Chains A and B, each alone.
Chain A
Amino acid sequence: MRLLDLRARNRNIAARFARPARGRGSAVISVRNLTKRYGDVLAVHDVSFDVAEGEVMGFLGPNGAGKSTTIRILTGYIPATAGTVQIAGLDVLSDSLAIRQKLGYLPENVPLYPELRVEEYLRFRARLKGVAAREASAAVERAMGQCGLVPMRARIVGQLSKGYRQRVGLADALVARPRLLILDEPTGGLDPHQRKEVLDLIKGLAHEHTVLLSSHILAEIESIATRVMIIQKGRLLANGKFADLATHLDDAPSIRVEAKGRRDALLLALAPVLRDCAESSDSVELRDGWVALTLRPRAGQDPREAIAERLRTAGLPLRELVRHQRTLEELFLRITAQAAMRGPEPAAAPDAASQPAAAGESR
C-alpha cells in the first residue's frame, strides 16, 4: 500500500521536474533522451535536461551513477548510444570542433602533462584552444591570477600538490574564456580548506560563464549551484532549484522529539499525531530512558504543538522538539532511496551503478 503510494508520488516528482526550464533556443546545453550503453550495461538512460545561459547547474549522484559518462558525452569525448546533445545550438556530433571551442572542460582526475611548468602548460593549452600567440601570455596571466597560481608559475606540474593541480586544471578550463565550463568533480580529493577555495573560485566564475559541475558531495552543490540535477543508475531523478525540490516533496520538514519514557508508551501517546504522518517514523532509545523520535508529517502540517500537548497530558517529560529544514543531503538520500525502492525497470540493466568502471567513473 505504502509502496504504491511512493511510486505514484515518484512519478509526480519526475513529471514535474522532467520539463525543461526554457525553450531549446536559449539553452546553452540542451540534452534530449540521452542514452549510453556499454555492452549490456546501461550507463545513462533517457536523460533530458537544459542548462540556461548564466546558470550554475549542479550535477549530483553517487559514484557510478553516470555523471562522468554524461559529461564525457557533452564534451564530445564519447558518443551517445541514442539521443541528442546540443551545446549553444550546435549538435555535439556534427559540430564537435566548434563546440569544443566554446567549452572549458575539467576531467575528473585532472590529467596534466607532468613534465611541464605551470606557465608552459597553460600557454600550450591556450594556443591549442586557438588563443593567438600575442594574446596567449595575457590569457595565461589572467587564468593564473584567477586561480591563484601566480606564485606557482615556474613550478613543474608533476611536483604540485593535489590542490594546486586542481587549480591548474581549472586555469586550463578557463584560459580561452569559454562560454561554458564543464567541471567533473572539481573538488575531488581535496582537503576541506582547498575545497572551499576551489568552490569560492567557481562561485566567482559564475557571472562570466555558464557552469555545469558534478559532485557527490551535496553541501558543495548546495552552496554554489542555482539548479540541481540528481542522477542515479543512469536515470535523472530530479531537476530543479534546490528550494523547489524540497517543497515539491510531498511532506514537510521532519520533526525530532526527545522524550522520557518507554517507547510504546510514547508511541501510544503520540498515536493520533503519528497517524497523520506521511510515512514510518523512527524511534531510537537513548541513554537514561530517553527516546528520540523522528516524525515526517504531511506537507503543510506542523504538529509540534500537538506533540507537546499530548506528551504533557501523558505525563512524559519532553527535552527536545525541533523541526529540521531538509538539507540537500537528506533530499538526495530520500530521492535516491525512493528510486531504489521502485526497483529495476525492464529496460534498465539491474546493476548499472554497481559497475563504476563501465559507467565511466573510472577510465
Chain B
Amino acid sequence: MRMLRQLSILLAREVESLYFTPIHYAVITVALVFNGWSFWFAMQLSQGNVEDAVRLFFGESPLVWLVMVLVPPLLTMRLFAEERRSGTLEMLLTAPVGEVEVVLAKFLAGLAFYVSMWVPSLLYLAIAKSYGAIPDVGPLATSYLGILLLGALFTAAGLFASSLTQTQVLAAVLATVFNLLLLLVPFVSRFIGIEAIERFFVELSIARHFGDSFSKGLIDTGHVSFYVVLTGVFLFWTMRSLESQRWR
C-alpha cells in the first residue's frame, strides 16, 4: 500500500518531468514524421491493400524498427544520468523510498511517454478506414501489444544504460548499442556458420518474435514472456547498478 502510494507520487513527478523536457518533443516530432513516411511507404508497397499495409507498417518496415530502436534511448537517457550528474539522486535515495519504486517509476514514465508517441498512429487507421478499408482488428491489436512489449524492453535497456553513467549522450549511445545488439546479433550469427549458435541466437531474436507472432495476430505466451523476462532482467540490472554505485 505504502509502496504503491510512493510509486504513484514518483510516477507523477517523472511523467511531469518527461513532458517538461523540450527535447522529447523534438524526438516525438521526428518519430512521427518517420512513422508517417513509413505508413505512406507501406501503403505504396501494398498498392492499396490496407491489411498488407498495416502488416508492413507494424514490424516489417525497417523505418518503424528505426523508430523503435532509436527513440527509447532518447527518452530514457536522462532518467538516471541527469539525476546523478546534478546530485538529485542523493536527495531521492536518502528520502524514505525504496530503489524498486524509484526504478519502476522511471520505467513506467518512460514507457508511458513512448506509448503516447504511438497514439497518433491510430489516426492512420482512421484514414485507412475512410478509404473504405476495414483492417482486421486482431493483427492490429497484437501489433500494438508487440509495440508495447518491445517498447518496455527498450525502455528498460535504456534505463539500465542511463544508470551506468552521468552523461546523457553516453547513456543514449549505450542504450542504442544494447538495442542494436538485441536486434542484429541473430542476423550476424548467421555468418558464423555453426548451426547451433545460429539457432540459439534466432531463438533470442526480438525481430523474429515480432514478425512471427505479433504482426500476424498471434499471441504466443512464449513470445510474450520472452519480452517480459528480458525487460525484467534489465530492470533488475538497473537496481543492481544503483546499489553498486553506493557500495563503490
Contact = CB atoms under 8 A, between A and B. Distances in A.
Interface of A: 38, 72, 75-79, 97-98, 100-101, 103, 105, 107, 109, 111-115, 124-125, 127-130, 172, 363
A305 B88 CA distance: 60
A101 B96 CA distance: 5
A127 B95 CA distance: 10
Given A107-B87, A124-B9, A127-B9, A115 B20 contact: yes
A180 B84 CA distance: 25
Nearest to A78: B246
Nearest to A75: B94
A62 to B, nearest CB: 22
Contacts, number: 59
Contacts of A109: 87
Q: Which of B89, B91, B246 has the most chain A CB within a 10 Å cutoff?
A: B91
Contact of B13 (A100, A124, A172): A124
Contact of A128 (B9, B87, B90): B9
Given A79-B246, A111-B88, A113-B17, A128 B94 contact: no
B98 A97 contact: yes
29 contacts: A77-B90, A77-B93, A78-B247, A79-B247, A97-B96, A97-B98, A98-B96, A100-B94, A100-B96, A101-B96, A105-B91, A107-B87, A107-B90, A107-B94, A109-B87, A111-B87, A111-B88, A111-B90, A112-B88, A112-B91, A124-B9, A124-B13, A125-B91, A128-B9, A128-B10, A128-B97, A130-B2, A172-B91, A363-B84
The list of the 6 closest CB pairs from A to B, nearest first, reads A111-B87, A100-B96, A111-B88, A101-B96, A75-B94, A127-B9
Interface in B2-22: 2, 6, 9-10, 13, 17, 20-21
Interface of B: 2, 6, 9-10, 13, 17, 20-21, 84, 86-91, 93-98, 246-248
Contact of B86 (A111, A124, A129, A130): A111
Contacts of A172: 91
Contacts of A107: 87, 90-91, 94
Contact of B94 (A77, A124, A127, A130): A77
B95 A100 contact: yes
A300 to B, nearest CB: 47
Given A103-B94, A128-B96, A128-B97, 10 more contacts: A77-B93, A78-B247, A97-B98, A112-B88, A115-B21, A124-B9, A125-B95, A128-B9, A129-B95, A172-B91
Contacts of A77: 90, 93-94, 246
Nearest to B10: A128
A111 B83 CA distance: 9
Contacts of B97: 128
B91 A111 contact: yes
Contacts of B84: 363
A72 B88 CA distance: 14
Nearest to B87: A111
A149 B248 CA distance: 37
A171 to B, nearest CB: 13
B90 A129 contact: no
B10 A113 contact: no
Which of A77, A97, A111 lies at the interface centre, i.e. has the most chain B CB atoms within 10 A of its CB? A111
A124 B6 CA distance: 10
Nearest to A110: B87
Given A109-B87, A128-B9, A76 B20 contact: no
Contacts of B21: 115
Given A107-B87, A111-B87, A111-B90, A129 B96 contact: yes
A111 B90 CA distance: 8
B17 A130 contact: no
Contacts of B246: 77-79
Contacts of A101: 96
Contact of B95 (A72, A78, A128): A128
Contacts of B87: 107, 109, 111, 363
Given A111-B86, A113-B88, A124-B13, A105 B6 contact: no
Contacts of A124: 9, 13
A129 B97 CA distance: 8
Contacts of A72: 90
A214 to B, nearest CB: 15
B219 to A, nearest CB: 38
A128 B17 contact: no
A363 B248 CA distance: 12
A79 B95 CA distance: 16
Contacts of A76: 94
Contacts of B9: 124, 127-128
A156 B248 CA distance: 34
Contacts of A100: 94-96
A128 B21 CA distance: 22
B123 to A, nearest CB: 30
Nearest to A108: B87
Nearest to B95: A128
A124 B98 CA distance: 16
B218 to A, nearest CB: 43
Nearest to B88: A111
In this complex, the member of B13, B89, B247 whose beta carbon has the largest number of chain A beta carbons within 10 angstroms is B13
Contacts of A130: 2, 96
Contacts of B93: 77
B37 to A, nearest CB: 32
